């Protein structure tokens, strides 16, 4: 980049020198012509027709007085009467501009190459006493003036090249230095600033690039974390499934071996058959729950308007016998025509899991309050509650607050995980408030983004 700046500066400098040479040549040339015109005009004022008659001798005498200026006498038709330079007599100059101007206006000037002398000359012609007197002096052409200045221009250009090299080196230091500093700051920090207004767009571009890089890094980190969490969740899921399946499979396998070995009484055989049947049903239910959870994960069917009020009332009728067995009172505050955009089976799962958990983990003789309106669903119980250390785990798969309830009631800890998944897929928000031995309150907010 330094060489590019130097070459550009050098090219501009040499171009300026060349233009200056041409311009100064033109100025000098025009000044020379003007000086020649003034000189001829002054000389013409000193002409005396009596002293210098229109003869060759008179022309030469007047020329000698003028230090060799060419003198030509012509009649009013432009015919040459005499000339201080031999060989130009008997020539008509009526076609010369200075002659026609003198005939018309009394005097005239012209600058051109002389065909007789082969050099550029300044001509001045004046009408005097019925004849034309023309004076001429040599002048340099503009190209000859330029050629004569070439050595000076070359010397000047050499000096300018050296100065240009030094100036370019200093300039590139001051130009590139702040850019290098800006680049170094951009590599070390997310935001850079500059006191040079010319570099402000560069600083803005670097800041935008740094923000984009940091955003991409955050996204990559988040994706990596998500992948690691997914892998850990998968491993945990497999471990939990294995653990949940191990108990019924062990029971089934153990009693099957006893039955195969014989020697069991009829009562013992009945017990074995019942155990095998119940554990196989438990295993079937576990597989069904896992399949259902997976279906929710991959469910992309479109939602439709569902009367959630009707679903809640129907479910409360279904679970009331189970609640009555333990003297649990259910108080329902259900608004009419609560229409939710979802699907019937998903809302049935959502409320069914919440109300059954409220019954399962309640105390005998406890209470359950169910509230539904267009904004939210609330299920509150007076059960065993949830310890603070378990609050962030209750929506995890296969987690149960009370392990004794899992085995006794056939639960697998997937109910709240299903509820959480349904809410997440629908854009709803579920929250829980709980204290040990004082019950729990689950709230599903249907429009959290509007609050």
| Chain centre to alpha carbon of residue 200 | 15
Give the pLDDT of residue 117. 52
- E strands along 161-242, which residues? none
**Alpha-carbon separation of residue 115 from 8, 85, 88, 356, 421 (angstroms):** 46, 13, 10, 125, 108
Q: Which residues contact 438 (CB under 8 A, 6 or more apart)?
A: 382, 385
For the stretch 35-73, pLDDT in tens is 888 888 888 888 888 889 998 898 899 989 888 888 999
CB atoms closer than 10 angstroms to residue 382? 19
Say whether 377 sits in a helix, a strand or coil: strand
Q: Which residues contact 99 (CB under 8 A, 6 or more apart)?
A: 74, 78, 93, 108, 125, 132, 134
Q: Which long-range contacts (CB under 8 A, 24 or more apart) does 398-403 make?
A: 398/237, 398/240, 398/241, 398/243, 398/244, 401/361, 402/361
Q: HSE on the CB side for 50, CA within 13 Å?
A: 0
Judge contact between 406 and 413, C-beta under 8 A.
yes
Mutual angle of helices 200-261 and 266-297, in 10-degree steps? 160
**Alpha-carbon separation of residue 180 from 120, 134, 343 (angstroms):** 59, 72, 61
User: What DSSP letter does each residue of 100-158 carry, written as one string?
Assistant: HHHHHHSEEEEEEE-TTTSSEEEEEEEEETTEEEEEEEE---HHHHHHHHHHHHHHHHH
Name the strand (E) or helix (H) holding 439: strand 439-445
228-237, 244-253, 364-373: least confident range: 228-237
**Alpha-carbon separation of residue 93 from 47, 90, 251, 390 (angstroms):** 21, 10, 139, 122
Residue 22 and residue 382: Cα distance in Å, rounded? 104
Q: What are phi and psi of 379, to 5 degrees?
A: -125, 115
Give the pLDDT of residue 303. 85
For the stretch 266-275, pLDDT in tens is 887 788 788 8
Rounded to whole angstroms, the maximal C-alpha distance in the chain is 174
Say whether 438 sits in a helix, a strand or coil: coil
pTM over 0.75: no
Give the pLDDT of residue 426. 85
216-220, 280-284, 291-295, 330-334: least confident range: 291-295
Judge contact between 99 and 74, C-beta under 8 A.
yes
Enter the DSSP assignment of 419. Answer: H
Six-digit token string for 409: 């009631």
Six-digit token string for 193: 């600033």
Residue 140 and residue 393: Cα distance in Å, rounded? 104
pLDDT band at 91 (very low <50, low <70, confident <90, very high): confident
Q: What are the residues facing 304 on neighbouring strands? A: 342
**Sheet with 439-445: strands ordered across:** 329-334, 367-372, 376-381, 439-445, 429-435
Residue 156 and residue 164: Cα distance in Å, rounded? 12
Share of the chain above pLDDT 90, in %: 22
Residue 287 has pLDDT above 90, yes or no: no
**Alpha-carbon separation of residue 10 from 23, 30, 158, 333, 434 (angstroms):** 20, 30, 11, 90, 82
Q: Which residues contact 331 (CB under 8 A, 6 or more apart)?
A: 367, 368, 369, 370
pLDDT band at 404 (very low <50, low <70, confident <90, very high): very low
């Amino acid at each position: 980049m330094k060489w590019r700046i130097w070459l550009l500066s050098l090219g501009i400098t040499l171009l300026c020198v060349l233009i200056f040479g041409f311009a100064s040549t033109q100025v000098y040339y025009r000044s020379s012509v003007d000086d020649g015109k003034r000189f001829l005009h002054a000389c013409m004022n000193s002409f005396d027709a009596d002293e210098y008659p229109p003869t060759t001798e008179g022309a030469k005498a007047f020329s000698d007085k003028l230090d060799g200026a060419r003198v030509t006498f012509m009649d009013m038709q432009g015919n040459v009467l005499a000339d201080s330079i031999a060989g130009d007599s008997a020539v008509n100059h009526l076609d010369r501009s200075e002659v026609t101007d003198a005939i018309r206006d009394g005097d005239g000037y012209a600058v051109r190459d002389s065909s007789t002398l082969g050099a550029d000359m300044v001509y001045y012609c004046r009408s005097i006493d019925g004849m034309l007197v023309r004076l001429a002096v040599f002048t340099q052409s503009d190209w000859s003036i330029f050629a004569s200045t070439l050595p000076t221009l070359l010397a000047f250009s050499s000096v300018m090249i050296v100065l240009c090299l030094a100036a370019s080196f200093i300039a590139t230091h001051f130009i590139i230095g702040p850019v290098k500093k800006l680049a170094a700051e951009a590599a070390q920090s997310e935001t850079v600033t500059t006191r040079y207004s010319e570099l402000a767009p560069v600083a803005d571009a670097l800041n935008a690039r740094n923000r984009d890089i940091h955003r991409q890094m955050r996204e990559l980190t988040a994706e990596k974390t998500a992948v690691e969490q997914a892998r850990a969740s998968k491993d945990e899921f497999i471990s939990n499934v294995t653990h949940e399946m191990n108990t019924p499979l062990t029971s089934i396998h153990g009693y099957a071996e006893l039955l195969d070995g014989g020697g069991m009484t009829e009562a013992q055989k009945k017990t074995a058959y019942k155990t095998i049947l119940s554990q196989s049903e438990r295993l079937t239910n576990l597989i069904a729950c896992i399949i259902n959870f997976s279906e929710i994960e991959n469910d992309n069917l479109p939602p439709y308007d569902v009367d959630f009020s009707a679903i809640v009332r129907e479910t409360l009728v279904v679970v009331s016998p189970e609640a009555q067995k333990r003297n649990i009172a259910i108080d329902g505050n259900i608004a009419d025509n609560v229409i939710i955009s979802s699907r019937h089976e998903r809302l049935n799962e959502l409320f069914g899991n919440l109300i059954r958990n409220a019954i399962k983990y309640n105390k005998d003789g406890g209470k359950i309050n169910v509230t539904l309106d267009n904004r939210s669903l609330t299920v509150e119980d007076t059960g065993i509650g949830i310890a603070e250390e378990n609050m962030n785990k209750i929506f995890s798969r296969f987690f149960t607050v009370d392990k004794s309830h899992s085995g006794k009631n056939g639960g697998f800890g997937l109910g709240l995980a299903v509820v959480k998944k349904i809410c997440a897929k629908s854009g709803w928000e579920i929250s829980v408030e709980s204290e040990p031995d004082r019950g729990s309150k689950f709230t599903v907010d249907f429009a959290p983004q509007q609050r």
